[in-house]
Amino acid sequence: YNIPDDVYQKNLSYFVELFGVSEFLNVQVRTLSLGERMKMELIVALLHNPKVLFLDEPTIGLDAVAQRQIRKFLREVNEEKGTTIILTSHYMEDIKSLCKRCVVINNGVKLYDGDTNALFDKYQTHKKITMALETESKYPVPKHIEILEQSTYRLSFMVEKERAQIVLKEIMNHCEISDLTIEEDDIGNVVERIYSDRGEVKL
């Protein structure tokens, strides 16, 4: 790319520090882990200050820690360098955490092209609630929930966001709860709902 030496050194130092990979600069590639190789390949792709960076499955095969590091790195490059990043991924966590704009394609047909948060607001319709019970409960499980796990002292279920508070209040009126966790719906479930619509996604 005919990068001037001063620009090359400046960019190399910037990306090496950002990724924390100085110890790998003089190491043979075949000795690096998959995550380490991916980091180095990203640095090489960014040395010439591209305006647009195309990535195909940038986190595939990486462990959870490496995936988070890659996402953090790409966010910082986008914010600090103004680099436009276009990526394809089957990991919707990549899309949700990195992309402001999302395009959903099914069998060559574009189902959606727009704001990522708006898409998830429409289809992330459930909450996952997990509770540990203080004492054994014989209280019947409320209707309109999907049981994920049920034992003597533990209950985990999915419930529509609009009904979550009502269901929680009903259970807590009859059971002593020692621990409670409320999580967003799994991204995989969101994707399933998007594609089950089949037609164009309308918000």
Domains in the chain (CATH in brackets) are: 5-116 (3.40.50.300), 124-185 (3.30.70.250)
Residue 93, pLDDT above cutoff 90? no
Binned at pLDDT 50, 70 and 90, residue 89 comes out as: confident
Mean pLDDT across 22-28? 91
pLDDT at 144: 80
138 burial level (CB within 10 Å; 0-12, 13-18, 19+): exposed
pLDDT tens profile 161-185: 999 999 988 888 888 889 999 998 8
Residue, of 90 and 150, whose pLDDT is higher: 150
Mean pLDDT across 78-102? 87
Q: What is the 3-state secondary structure (H, E, C) of 29-53?
A: HHHCCHHHHHHHHHHHHHCCCCCEE
pLDDT at 180: 92
**Which of 23-37, 60-74, 189-203 is least confident?**
189-203
Mean pLDDT across 92-98? 84
pTM, whole model, 2 decimals?
0.64
pLDDT tens profile 37-73: 989 999 999 999 999 999 999 988 888 888 898 999 9
pLDDT at 31: 93
pLDDT at 201: 64
